[in-house]
Structure 1
Amino acid sequence: MADEPTPTTQRRQLGARLRELRRAAGKTAKQVADDLGFSLSKVSRIESGDRAVQSDDISSLIHYFGVGGSAADDMRALARLARRRRTPTPQAFAPTLDDVTVRQDGFFDLERDASWIREFNGGVIPGLLQTREYMSAAIVDGTPGISADLVAEAIDTRFRRQAVLDGDCQYEIIVDESVLLRCVGGPPVMREQISFITDAVASGRVSFGVVPLAVGAHPAVNSMFVSLRVREGLAPDVVFVEGLAGPMRFDRPEDVERFDRAWSHLSSLAEWAEDAGARLVATARRYEGMEP
């Protein structure tokens, strides 16, 4: 985990603080917008962390909410740090580096600052646990027409992301059994991939669960999502849902709670520890009997 929070996390931290001040003052976002001459969209984007707060705007907000002394200085400093620009990180699946890349960069920043990550995937092994060969096959087969240069860039990005597992981030993953049975890249690639997962679980870096196909339908059968909690007290929890058009972010408490309930149910359905390990071993043996 990074020593200093990323600008994305700092924007969300500042936005959460401003939302608390607004609610404590008994104001709606529209009232704040009208009183300060802001658009309602601007206030909403500041509070959600989607927009950096310029120096004049943070001064207006501090004065409006009556914040003084060291608290005001801290908010100005946080706004200044949150305005730092980072080099956009290539989006792992996008065939071109467009505005989807910029949106995805917010996810990478929050992932880097996470104290815990919970991920469900019903399609492929999540990127944080993929081997190089599995990554290559998943990206090439999943993105027809992607250039070799962009494939290499996306693989490099995923490997850099995996550094989060070397810190103190708690990573929990649940996959549908179909993910293990989907032969991405061929049997040798799958054998290596399953061995990599087994080693990661044995090292204690990852908690790995499998929802058996025999369970049938479940709350996330048509979905894949990642729940993130950044360092305690820095910013609210957030959930990203992946799709063909890129990730969608949910950070309203009621939305996050809905995904928490889905995770709890999936966790109760999944095989963990020895049972999940036995399924990994059985699946690896299945691939041993297949032609390359």
Structure 2
Amino acid sequence: MAAVQTRRKRKLGQFLNALRKRAGKTEVDYHALTRKTQSTLSRMENGYISPSWTELGALLGLYGASDTERREAEALWEDAKQDGTRLVYAAAFTPEARTYARQEADATEVRTVEMNVIPGLLQTPAYAAAVRRAGKRFVDGGVSVDQAKAALAGRQRRLRTVRLDAVIDESALHRLVGGADVMREQLLHLVEATQNSNTTIRVIPFSAGAYGTMSGGGATALLFEDGDPSAVYLEYAGGGKWVDNPADVQNYLLHFDEIASGLALSPKDSVSLIRKMASALKET
């Protein structure tokens, strides 16, 4: 299989390239250390392949990396070695979840489609805690609910600057996660979130019928500035994977646009529906 360039591998490659140039080292020095070709060095620094752990340590030594730079390079290496071909579940503090959180923090735009649950960036603490309790077999039991809430709150602070376009299936709005009071609070929170000009919420009504991703879990696209390639994260119970392949990512972005513009209610009508559902819960 041909090596595929991914954003995470490219970030590592760029970091190593900067260290190499600062140290005044050339392709000849790289070959003398590793016995590998200039082509291999180029593919590594451009994000098509990653060095082995042993090779990374040797390169950092050759480039005179400081302790801080070594830690940064090792963190980037951990990110880059995550499978970026298919299907990272951020329900607990796994290495994959940390990778997702770092990538989300770098994104300038988040586009998400959710069928069964409110997107994490829009969850209230009570709703998030109820989801976590229900999925106890798939989360890290060593992480307390309070710690999980704090981590979620940290992610949600990004809503001040990141553009969020969320498409939510109507079924997720009807499910009484945590009970009626918790769900009403959650619905009102969605309405409030749309007051932020960076946040758009659209609801896929039951009348829309079938759509492409409805048989799977949630799908989130992360878009970056400075020409960095977009990536898609697919969720499933207990796990998930990245989609970094450009053709596959483009398919998900086109699919998102099709749902948002062709099947989902307008943002205004979506907010009206959510308000109506919240009022109905108050009356029960």
With the length of structure 2 as denominator, give the TM-score of the two structures: 0.72
Change (3 A) 1:160 1:17: closer
Distance 1:13 1:38 in 2: 18
The alpha-carbon distance between structure 1 residues 270 and 145, as it changes in their structure 2 partners (threshold 3 A), is closer
Name which of 54, 60, 73 aligns with 2:56. Answer: 54
1:83 maps to which residue? Answer: 73
Q: Does 1:170 align with 2:170?
A: no
**Separation in 2, partners of 1:266, 1:166:** 25
Answer whether contact 1:117 1:170 (CA < 8 A) is retained.
yes
Change over 3 Å in CA distance of 1:92–1:260 after alignment to 2 = closer
Q: Are the aligned partners of 1:121 and 1:175 in contact in 2 as well (CA < 8 Å)?
A: yes
Structure 1 stretches of 5 or more lacking a match? Answer: 1-7, 19-32, 61-72, 74-78
Aligned to 1:216: 209
Equivalent residue in structure 2 for 1:231, among 217, 225, 231: 225
C-alpha distance in 2 between matches for 1:56 and 1:145? 37
Deviation at 1:245, TM superposition (A): 3.7
Deviations 1:99-130 (A, max 9, x none): xx112211111100111010011010011001
Matches of 1:144 and 1:274, distance apart in 2: 38
Offset of 1:244 from its aligned partner? 2.1
Number of aligned residue pairs: give it. 240
* Contact 1:212–1:271, Cα closer than 8 Å, also in 2: yes
Matched position secondary structure for 2:213: coil
Aligned to 2:66: none
Tell me the secondary structure at the aligned position of residue 93 of structure 1.
coil
Question: Could you tell me which residue of structure 2 aligns to residue 26 of structure 1?
Answer: none
Which residue pairs with 1:70 in the alignment?
none
Distance 1:178 1:48 in 2: 42
- Stretches of structure 2 that go unaligned for 5 or more consecutive residues are 1-5, 17-33, 64-68, 79-88
Corresponding residue for residue 278 of structure 1? 272
Report whether the alignment pairs 1:127 with 2:111. no
Call closer, same or farther: CA 1:16–1:221 in 2, change over 3 Å.
Answer: farther
| Aligned match of 1:161 | 155
1:253 is matched with which residue: 222, 246, 258?
246
Q: Which moved more, 1:148-157 or 1:122-131?
A: 148-157
Q: Which residue matches 1:190?
A: 183
Q: Distance in 2 between matches of 1:14 and 1:179?
A: 38
Letter paired with 1:217: A
> Would you identify which runs of 4 or more consecutive aligned residues in structure 1 move more than 6 Å?
48-53
CA RMSD, aligned part only?
3.7
Alpha-carbon distance, 1:93 to partner: 2.3
Please, which moves more after superposition, 224-233 or 107-116? Answer: 224-233
Q: What is the DSSP-based 3-state SS (H/G/I as helix, E as strand, rest coil) of the residue aligned with 2:203?
A: strand
**What is aligned with 1:66?**
none
Contact 1:121 1:174 in 2 (8 A): yes
**Residues 122 and 45 (structure 1 numbering): CA distance in 2 closer, same or farther, change over 3 Å?**
farther
Contact kept, 8 Å, 2:109 with 2:224, in 1: the verdict is yes
Aligned residue type for 2:180: P
Give the drift of 1:289: 2.6
Identity of aligned residues (%): 25
Aligned residues of 1:136 and 1:155 also touching (Cα < 8 A):
yes
CA distance, structure 1, for counterparts of residue 256 and residue 52 of structure 2: 30
| Conservation of the 8 A alpha-carbon contact between 1:125 and 1:179 | yes
Corresponding position: 1:203 with 2:204: no
Secondary structure at 2:211 match in 1: coil
